[in-house]
Amino acid sequence: MSDQFVGEIRMFGGNFAPMDWAFCDGSTLQISQYDVLYAAIGTTYGGNGTSNFNLPDLRGRVPVHMGTGTGLTPRTIGNSFGTENETLQVAHIPAHSHAINAGGPGTAAAPGGNYPGDSSGFNLYSTAAPDSLMNQASVGSSPPTPAQPHSNLMPAQCIYFIIATNGYFPQRS
């Protein structure tokens, strides 16, 4: 691993950071000790910029290229976004409508306030064709339950991300 650029980030399958590399865990480093790395990344990931700076923190994060895309908000380098858990709100669900098909025997001997439905076998109160519409007031929904967060994580495999603290200094093109 001797051909790296200072500030280069790689995935690493070992359980240690090799020489001249550090874990991308948000650690705070002293500028006086890592001046070349500081020259490459500055305070993009945090730090006070006078005596220290932070490494990127990719723990529990997926790296994403900076920029914009169709339907996306702009992403800037060093920016973190997203949540591990999300509470679904009514505003997240698109409006929809659909038919409700119900069948089977009645569940009440005297269904007061409702209209008799059509039955293809026995048309006691109706002359309508089978499969007529049901009274909309007879269909309801359960009372809402308090919103609970649900997992928003995609399937993943944990691996270390490491950043080069020593190597070739990248030249701007």
Strand segments (E) across 2-107:
9-12, 21-23, 28-30, 52-54, 85-87
Question: CA–CA separation, 158 vs 173, rounded Å?
Answer: 34
Residue 86: its pLDDT value, please? 86
Sign for the pseudo-dihedral over CA of 95, 69, 46, 49: negative
User: 1-63+152-173: what fold?
Assistant: 3.90.1340
User: CB atoms < 10 A from the CB of 41, how many?
Assistant: 20
Domain ranges of the chain: 1-63+152-173
Tens digit of pLDDT at every position of the chain (173 positions): 669 999 999 999 999 999 999 999 999 999 999 999 999 999 999 999 999 999 999 999 999 999 998 888 899 999 998 888 888 888 878 887 877 666 666 666 666 666 555 445 554 555 555 555 556 655 666 667 777 888 888 888 999 999 999 999 999 88
H/E segment holding residue 40: helix 35-41
The structure's pTM equals 0.68
Q: Please give the distance of CA 117 from its chain centroid, rounded to a whole number.
A: 46
Residue 24: its pLDDT value, please? 98
Residue 161: its pLDDT value, please? 98
